Chains A and B, each alone.
Chain A
Amino acid sequence: MDLTIWTYEGPPHVGAMRVATGMKGIHYVLHAPQGDTYADLLFTMIERRNHRPPVTYTTFQAQDLGGDTAGLVKQATRDAYERFKPDALLVGASCTAELIQDDPGNLAASLGLPVPVIPLELPAYQRKENWGASETFYQLVRALCLPHAPEPAWQRPPIEGRRPRCNLLGPSALGFRHRDDVKEITRLLDQVGVDVDVVAPLGATAHDVARLGEADFNVVLYPEVGRAAASWLKRTFKQPMVETVPIGVGATRDFLREVARVAGLDEEEAVSVVSTELPWYSRSVDSNYLTDKRVFIFGDATHAVAAARVASEEIGFKVVGLGAYNREFAREVRAAAKKLDLEPLITDDYLEVEEAIQEAAPEMVLGTQMERHIAKRLGIFCSVISAPVHVEDFPARYSPQMGPEGANVLFDTWVHPLMMGLEEHLLGMFQDDFEFSNDRTPSHLVAAKPEGSGSDELAPATSAAPDSANGAPTRNGNGSHGDAEIPAETRGSGRDGSTPSTAEGPGPSDPQWGDEAAAELKKIPFFVRKKARRNTEAYARQQGIHEISVDTLYEAKAHFGSR
């Protein structure tokens, strides 16, 4: 039993819904209580879909439990078939129905409906959303394609006298920029002379899925959803898989080389179609200030790993943290982290992620909506790179993450939140300018840290309510000592990483800041101040210094370097 406040992934049946909702003519009968219908709003509100998800819930109640819940499944399945006339039915249970063991899949299959009925077993107490999407797509592909499977000894003939054809596997409803990625990659493949046959699950019908085996190869656009099905297709239909995820310039080029290899095209000719601004923008002198900016990256494995490559190789950031919430893909994250000499963070506990971010003291976070909130609290810039999605992640404009245009989008969305180089210098030089004042919120962070006490963000920490201690009763009434040495900027949030843990209080061996040193610390621009503070304290501890002086501050700076 785990205490969870926010979750990165929903339950596995929500993954199944992402597959069903992305497709056309598929219906999902879900044995579930009424509250589970909340999942509809993920699609109608967050993604702004104009249709209800194709899901019928049995919505059994307590009074049904002693009776015939199995009968409810049959009735709901029959009614759903009659009303929606789908080409195929998915049938399964949510977490609660799993406990009553009605076996809805087999109940539905026994009804003799004239369409394929695909039972789904998605263990809700072991697995999560991405796995549920992957398993559902795999079961669907298997059920619909198996009748067309060739003999095991069959060999795929070479592509001759026509353009190669591929499928794009993995895009789904409620995916992070899937709509635009599909468009971008379809266009890119067309440029190198490859046709896209079927995109699935997003936009596909049951009939489209049934003919997946006809293409020459499969592109696994989102391994979290598409890899299991693609692997089965590879074994059954001898379709090669293209597994490079084309996020960033380098990865897009690698992707095209891989496509060219399996499609029998010239690799360098294929790569030559990539036209994007990112390389030049990165080389432009104004981008100098991006060098070694400390970024912390967290998301689903695919997007996090891709972001790490773009950040370190294409923008010149320094990646100081890399992690993912989906354990199924931990291997890929570990490999990427190893390359960057980092310890990977594989966790779905957002408090752990928050701690890791504080510890790494980055200047920017590339993460999910969850990290956006963490970064906001810590006063750090953040760009969102991965699901879980928010309504903001469905922009009206074309905004892919993949391919050449995706690389442009990444450059813009990662760089624009940062301060321009010269502004940074001015801040450093003229700290007494009233607009730069330490006690004021930086102008570009107003949205993140509104001044005054009217904001929800600050209310718990600045009000006199019991919440203010944020878990530290000892802080009540001792505001005049202990914490007094802490620069004023840390007021208003006890959890922003620049304050020693208030829960523990200052330990006896912790170095204390002298008044002059504390004042000097304030002169350091706010975005590196936390780092300076941590380094100085670490240095003081290492040197056995009890009171930090101005000299200690500069000795620490010399010791650690300016970054």
Chain B
Amino acid sequence: MSGAALPVADAGTSGCQDLPVLKQRGQREVFCGLTGIIWLHRKMQDAFFLIVGSRTCAHLMQSAAGVMIFAEPRFGTAIMEEKDLAGMADMHDELDKVVSRLLSRRPEIRTLFLVGSCPSEVIKLDLSKAAERLSGVHSPEVRILAYSGSGIETTFTEGEDTCLASMVPQLPDDGSENSLMVVGTLADVVEDQMVRVFEQLGIGPIRFLPPRRSADLPPVGSGTRVIMAQPWVNETVEALQRRGANLISAPFPFGVEGTLEWLVAAAEPWGVSRERVEEVTAKARERGRASLARYREVLEGRRIFFFPDSQIEIPLARFLHRELGMVPVEVGTPFLHRTHMGPELALLPRDLTLSEGQDVERQLDRCMAANPDITVCGLGLANPLEAEGQTTKWAIELVFSPIHGFDQAGDLAELFARPLRRAQLLEV
């Protein structure tokens, strides 16, 4: 690495690829995969997400993210009722009717996702079959796909993974043409920044999954290099690999170090050297470092505890540890994919608890015993922990904010620094 030395932790303490993982079975205090719709329906503006589920699903969607803002959102719930449960054949008829009504009301919709829920999975309502049947009626105007966002199968961000994976078989074949596909929903501004860097490096074409319009599906083939932009798209990249694409292994683009390593790894198959990437990104890295320096004094040496939420916990712990000097006490993740997370695990310090899954009661006991300086947790736990005198950061904000890349590194640090500053600031 060239330029001013990054204030990274001593390499001797790093590397926990073989760290034991604490797995406890108990109450899991996490969202289900349906919640992914909250950002997916914004990202793909010509798609509609129809949850086939219960009143609980509909209530979750309007409560979870406080999204009751938009006139008519591009998601809805087909609520199953007592009479639907009586006969499966009628249920399919009912679903067909709902879909027809919906599509006639919203003719601008190009892709309709039928989203499976806990109740639809338990009664084994086959939504893939329904999608095929309905495609027969509504294609080519509307593509109809199905995926599961159910809480018995998916946790929070895994809903995006199952959604994107359902799109993979639909992607056009690219033959062996070289291209780079970035997988996982990113803020539009981040995508634009990435495209600019790749253009400067002479890499392309660059494609994003999900695309901004669901009708513009990115092609895939044996020349496609795939890189994960979000840590939760495991099933999707495996499906892309089955379509012949090659996966690039890299740390995730959080912080200056993570973003550089991510770009270097992305550039490598194009024969673009690390030196060239460093040269092109020199200014941006300098800006990133400068923006982080401000937060280091607030965050350095502070102990942080992550409850499992989105799978973003490990990369963020790495960033906070190596670039801001924070001390991760426990890093919880809802699901650990050892291969995809390998480059991240290699950069984590060894003296932390890595936990997968959850028994929320025992984890709260550990958290209170550890008494960290800041706890990253879900919305159900934050205020109760604050009332116990803990400082918290809502995990969901880490999924909803532009935090990738050099120019967002400072914003990412700010998300952790603000609760600490606020705790100090308040005199009441």
Binding site for B on A (CB under 8 A): 1-7, 9-11, 13-14, 33-42, 44-46, 48-52, 56-62, 65, 76, 79, 83, 94-96, 99-100, 123-126, 128, 369-370, 373, 377, 390-391, 456-457, 460, 465-467, 469-473, 495
- Count residues of chain B with CB under 8 A from any CB of chain A: 70
With contacts A1-B95, A41-B379 taken as known, whether A125 is within 8 angstroms of B54 at the C-beta atoms is yes
Cα of A123 to Cα of B59 in the assembled complex, Å: 16
Give residues of chain B (22-42) contacting chain A, Cβ–Cβ below 8 Å.
26-35
Of the candidates A57, A126, A370, the one whose C-beta lies within 8 Å of that of B27 is A57
B108 touches A50 (CB 8 A): no
Give residues of chain B (304-332) contacting chain A, Cβ–Cβ below 8 Å.
none
21 pairs of residues in contact across A and B, judged by CB atoms under 8 Å: A1-B78, A2-B98, A3-B50, A3-B77, A3-B78, A4-B55, A5-B77, A7-B55, A7-B59, A35-B151, A36-B56, A38-B31, A38-B63, A45-B379, A50-B386, A52-B380, A61-B153, A95-B118, A125-B81, A460-B71, A466-B46
Shortest Cβ distance from residue B308 to the other chain A in the assembled complex, whole angstroms = 11
With contacts A34-B30, A34-B155, A36-B151 taken as known, whether A11 is within 8 angstroms of B54 at the C-beta atoms is yes
Chain A residue contacts of B54, Cβ below 8 A: 11, 95-96, 124-125
Cα of A65 to Cα of B118 in the assembled complex, Å: 11
B107, CB-defined interface residue at 8 Å: yes
B62, CB-defined interface residue at 8 Å: yes
Chain A residue contacts of B77, Cβ below 8 A: 3-5
Shortest Cβ distance from residue B114 to the other chain A in the assembled complex, whole angstroms = 12
B68 touches A123 (CB 8 A): no
Cα of A400 to Cα of B78 in the assembled complex, Å: 37
B118 touches A456 (CB 8 A): no
Shortest Cβ distance from residue B53 to the other chain A in the assembled complex, whole angstroms = 8
Interface pick from B119-127, B186-194, B237-245, B255-263: B119-127
Of the candidates B69, B73, B382, the one whose C-beta lies within 8 Å of that of A44 is B382
Give residues of chain B (55-74) contacting chain A, Cβ–Cβ below 8 Å.
55-56, 58-60, 62-64, 66, 68-73
Shortest Cβ distance from residue A341 to the other chain B in the assembled complex, whole angstroms = 32
Chain B residue contacts of A79, Cβ below 8 A: 26, 361
B82 touches A56 (CB 8 A): no
B85, CB-defined interface residue at 8 Å: yes
A37 touches B78 (CB 8 A): no
Closest Cβ neighbor of B29 among chain A residues: A37
Cα of A42 to Cα of B28 in the assembled complex, Å: 17
Instruction: Known pairs A1-B91, A35-B151, A38-B32; list 5 more (Cβ under 8 Å).
Output: A9-B59, A34-B29, A35-B35, A83-B361, A472-B107
B79 touches A369 (CB 8 A): no
Cα of A34 to Cα of B30 in the assembled complex, Å: 6
Chain B residue contacts of A44, Cβ below 8 A: 379-384
Chain A residue contacts of B68, Cβ below 8 A: 6, 369-370, 373, 390
Of the candidates A5, A40, A391, the one whose C-beta lies within 8 Å of that of B76 is A5
With contacts A10-B56, A38-B31, A466-B46 taken as known, whether A52 is within 8 angstroms of B384 at the C-beta atoms is yes
B346, CB-defined interface residue at 8 Å: no
Closest Cβ neighbor of B70 among chain A residues: A456
Cα of A95 to Cα of B60 in the assembled complex, Å: 13
Could you count the A-B residue pairs with CB atoms below 8 Å apart for me: how many are there?
A: 210
B59 touches A11 (CB 8 A): yes
A35 touches B78 (CB 8 A): no
Chain B residue contacts of A391, Cβ below 8 A: 66
Chain B residue contacts of A94, Cβ below 8 A: 56
A33 touches B108 (CB 8 A): no
Chain A residue contacts of B284, Cβ below 8 A: none
B94, CB-defined interface residue at 8 Å: yes
A37 touches B28 (CB 8 A): yes
Closest Cβ neighbor of A472 among chain B residues: B107
Closest Cβ neighbor of A56 among chain B residues: B27
Cα of A11 to Cα of B77 in the assembled complex, Å: 13
Give residues of chain B (130-172) contacting chain A, Cβ–Cβ below 8 Å.
150-153, 155
A124 touches B55 (CB 8 A): yes
A7 touches B62 (CB 8 A): yes
Closest Cβ neighbor of A47 among chain B residues: B383
The 4 closest A-B pairs by CB, nearest first: A35-B32, A35-B151, A40-B380, A50-B387
B108 touches A471 (CB 8 A): yes
Cα of A472 to Cα of B151 in the assembled complex, Å: 36
With contacts A3-B78, A125-B85 taken as known, whether A35 is within 8 angstroms of B60 at the C-beta atoms is yes
Closest Cβ neighbor of B378 among chain A residues: A41
B383 touches A48 (CB 8 A): yes
Cα of A28 to Cα of B32 in the assembled complex, Å: 21
A49 touches B383 (CB 8 A): yes
Chain A residue contacts of B64, Cβ below 8 A: 38, 41
Shortest Cβ distance from residue A514 to the other chain B in the assembled complex, whole angstroms = 31
Of the candidates A41, A56, A96, the one whose C-beta lies within 8 Å of that of B380 is A41
B56 touches A471 (CB 8 A): no
Of the candidates B69, B75, B91, B121, the one whose C-beta lies within 8 Å of that of A62 is B121
Closest Cβ neighbor of A495 among chain B residues: B71
Closest Cβ neighbor of B50 among chain A residues: A3
Cα of A52 to Cα of B77 in the assembled complex, Å: 28
Shortest Cβ distance from residue B154 to the other chain A in the assembled complex, whole angstroms = 9
B72 touches A34 (CB 8 A): no
Cα of A2 to Cα of B50 in the assembled complex, Å: 11
B80, CB-defined interface residue at 8 Å: yes
B174, CB-defined interface residue at 8 Å: no
B414, CB-defined interface residue at 8 Å: no
Chain B residue contacts of A65, Cβ below 8 A: 122, 152
Shortest Cβ distance from residue A310 to the other chain B in the assembled complex, whole angstroms = 26
Cα of A39 to Cα of B379 in the assembled complex, Å: 10
A35 touches B76 (CB 8 A): no
Of the candidates B84, B91, B150, the one whose C-beta lies within 8 Å of that of A35 is B150
Of the candidates A10, A35, A45, A126, the one whose C-beta lies within 8 Å of that of B383 is A45
Cα of A1 to Cα of B95 in the assembled complex, Å: 7
Closest Cβ neighbor of A14 among chain B residues: B59
A99 touches B28 (CB 8 A): no
B82 touches A126 (CB 8 A): yes
A62 touches B153 (CB 8 A): yes
B28 touches A50 (CB 8 A): no
Chain A residue contacts of B422, Cβ below 8 A: none
Chain A residue contacts of B75, Cβ below 8 A: 5
Chain B residue contacts of A1, Cβ below 8 A: 78-81, 84, 91, 94-95, 97-98
**Which of A125, A390, A457, A460 has the largest count of B CB atoms less than 10 A from its CB?**
A125
Closest Cβ neighbor of B382 among chain A residues: A44
With contacts A10-B59, A52-B381, A79-B361 taken as known, whether A125 is within 8 angstroms of B30 at the C-beta atoms is no
Closest Cβ neighbor of A2 among chain B residues: B79
A471 touches B27 (CB 8 A): no
Chain A residue contacts of B101, Cβ below 8 A: 3
A61 touches B152 (CB 8 A): yes
A373 touches B69 (CB 8 A): yes
Give residues of chain B (188-233) contacting chain A, Cβ–Cβ below 8 Å.
none
A40 touches B121 (CB 8 A): no
A33 touches B150 (CB 8 A): yes
B102, CB-defined interface residue at 8 Å: yes
B45, CB-defined interface residue at 8 Å: yes
Cα of A39 to Cα of B45 in the assembled complex, Å: 28
With contacts A83-B361, A96-B119 taken as known, whether A467 is within 8 angstroms of B45 at the C-beta atoms is yes
B366, CB-defined interface residue at 8 Å: no
Cα of A293 to Cα of B91 in the assembled complex, Å: 46
